[in-house]
Structure 1
Amino acid sequence: MPPTTTTSPQQPINVKLLLIGNASVGKSSLLLRFSDEQWLPEDEATATIGVDFRVHKMEVRGKRVKLSIWDTAGQERFRTITSSYYRGAQGVILVYDVTNRETFDALPRWFNELDTYITTPIVKILVGNKVDKEFSRQVPTSEGEAYAERMGSLFVEASAKTAVGVQETFREVVEKILDTPELW
């Protein structure tokens, strides 16, 4: 009797993503909206201490992908414990708050940190968050786009509150990683 062959389901591609940026830019809110389709009002949200971690499965271009998403604390006092979390990351989501110029002006420091801790190729996406607060905007879209282009980064504007741009953010990063086989 010939041996029977069973086809195992396609193994997912494991992808490690990091969320980085200043405190209170909405990193955790973006992750919560993406992974659980929920949003907490700012007065109910709490600061991330150290790192939060979520696993999310999705299908992109017919491939199963298992995302390990590391949500890092933006507060300076927790910066030392996050450097080890950069290791093995294939993508990074850098978040700033479009209503807070200071968070945009801090981006060079975050890109320098990436250069310090990441020695292999990585996909970067710059996300201007909180576009639902258009009346309070301090950073024009064109400025975010231009900075992302200079840094070799993808760019999206999003709102964790309204879900605008959230799925697009994660999908674009994963698609770019899948387009770069040496990353997986």
Structure 2
Amino acid sequence: MASIVIGAGKQLQIIFIGDSGVGKTSIFKLFENHEVFQSPVVTINPQTIERNIVIGPPHETVKLSIYDTAGQERFRSFTRQYCRKADIAFLVFSITDADSFHHIREIWMKEMAGNSGEGDTEMILIGNKSDLMDERMNPLSTSKQLAEQYQMRFIEMSAIKNDDFQKLYGVLKEAVTDVIKKGGGGMKEDIVIINDDKPAPRDGRWCKSCRK
């Protein structure tokens, strides 16, 4: 049953970073409309969507601005503007690409550390393409070790498995809660509709997928 909260709320910015071809945009599309892409998604321009997430109790709605840098990792200066504003970063690698995992620490974590601006960015490590276990190059234990070393949340998932979105949503909710508890997030002023413990729908497709 929906309830209405009037007044100021929190707003967080989230980015996807990692090597090209690891599936960042495919995961982003799950947030956009829960659409699963069986073929690689090639993007040229950055994309942004906004979603609401409810944390608590007590219930509080947080607006999320989610950015897909869309291949702009090639232009490091372009990506840095996103890093400076990010409250949460998804660090994405492919379990079938050992280099993409090594680059998480060698490149992308350094980018976040050097360009995250004021405060610490909450980082979530994502090993994508878990549907390709036979092609695994990066051991699960190695990923877990990196996550533990830097106190990051970690999941393995497949962007072509819709059910895996729930894994991602679960760790994102935990991260959002931590950021808010630490006093992070900008303010927004609007009327927010809270739909129990699920993201508030923004369009018909999102609403339909939330009911699944």
Q: Please give the range of the TM-score, normalised by the shorter of the 2 chains.
A: 0.7 to 0.9
Q: 103, 106, 130: which one pairs with 1:106?
A: 103
Between structures 1 and 2, the one with greater strand share: 2
- Residue pairs, 1:1-184, within 5 angstroms: 9=6, 11-43=8-40, 45-46=41-42, 48-61=43-56, 62-74=59-71, 76-108=73-105, 109-119=107-117, 120-179=119-178, 180-184=181-185
Give the Å deviation of 1:137.
1.0
| TM-score, normalising length: structure 1 | 0.85
Contact residue 19 and residue 70 of structure 1 kept, 8 A: yes
Give the Å deviation of 1:35.
2.6
Contact residue 127 and residue 158 of structure 1 kept, 8 A: yes
| Greater RCO (Cα-Cα under 8 Å, separation 6 or more) | 2
Q: Which moved more, 1:161-170 or 1:134-143?
A: 161-170
- Counterpart AA for 1:59: V
% same residue: 29
| TM-score, normalising length: structure 2 | 0.75
Contact residue 18 and residue 93 of structure 2 kept, 8 A: yes
Contact residue 53 and residue 173 of structure 2 kept, 8 A: no
What are the superposed Cα offsets for residues 128-156 of structure 1, whole Å, 9 maximum, x if unpaired?
Answer: 00101111111121111101111221111
What are the superposed Cα offsets for residues 27-59 of structure 1, whole Å, 9 maximum, x if unpaired?
Answer: 11111113311012225x21x335211111222
Q: Which moved more, 1:114-123 or 1:9-18?
A: 9-18
- Counterpart AA for 2:111: E
Give the Å deviation of 1:125.
0.5
- Counterpart AA for 1:131: S
- Counterpart AA for 2:122: V
- Counterpart AA for 1:173: L
Structure 1 unaligned residues grouped into runs of 5+: 1-6
User: Alignment length, in residue pairs?
Assistant: 176
* Compared CA separation, residues 183 and 13, structure 1 to 2 (3 A): same
Structure 2 unaligned residues grouped into runs of 5+: 186-212
